[in-house]
Copies of this chain bind each other. A is one copy, B any other.
Amino acid sequence: MIRMTKLTDYGIVLLTHMAMEAPGSFHTAQDLATRSRIPVPTASKLLKALARAGLVISHRGRNGGYGLSRDADAISVAEIIAAIEGPIGLTECGTGTEGACDMESFCAARGRWAPINQAIERALQDVPLSAMRPAQPPPQERLVRLEAASGVAP
């Protein structure tokens, strides 16, 4: 199966929880971990990575914590994945990393991957963080609307 690591999944869940709170509010790693049911050290590690990538802002010291750096609409799932896992792509080929594959000179599929990688990245860029959040105002079942709004469904 083509997949993200579980860490990335957790990262998205963490950000989703932040997106459910008031914009501009801050929350400790402890708090976010508890609410997401993710072990605290793991959540902490993820939040560090997200802060390094500029997706969240961190405040140290007492009453410190993490908060989204932008509106949830302006953060794409592609960015989140890239922040935790690195460049998006199914293979090393075509992600810009040269010489990553020692079979490059005689690979039958050489150069064929880039368009596929780009198509997938584009699909993920079109999904904002706000589309992942359950959207409390209408209490349940926004599934259908999400599908229509995500821009990736036909």
Residues on A lying within 8 angstroms of B by beta carbon are 1-4, 9, 12-13, 16-17, 20, 36-37, 77, 81, 85-91, 95, 103, 106-112, 114-116, 118-120, 122-124, 126-127, 131-134, 143, 146-147, 150-154
Determine the residue in chain B with the shortest Cβ distance to A147: B115
Neighbouring B residues of A150 by C-beta, 8 Å:
115-116, 119
Cα of A85 to Cα of B151 in the assembled complex, Å: 26
A89 interface neighbour in B1, B131, B153, Cβ under 8 Å: B1
Copies in the complex: 2
On whether the beta carbons of B151 and A154 are closer than 8 Å, the reply is: yes
Contact of A123 among B1, B119, B132 (CB under 8 A): B119
CB within 8 A of A116: which of B20, B114, B127?
B127
Q: Which B residues lie within 8 Å of A134 (CB)?
A: 108, 110
Q: A2-B4, A3-B2, A81-B2 are in contact. Are A108 and B153 (CB under 8 A)?
A: no
In contact, A4 and B123 (Cβ under 8 angstroms):
no
User: From A121, which residue of chain B is reached at the shortest CB distance?
Assistant: B2
A30 to chain B, nearest CB (A): 17
Closest beta carbon of chain B to A129's beta carbon, Å: 10
Given contacts A118-B147, A123-B119, contact A103 B3 (CB under 8 A): no
A9: chain B residues at CB < 8 Å are: 91
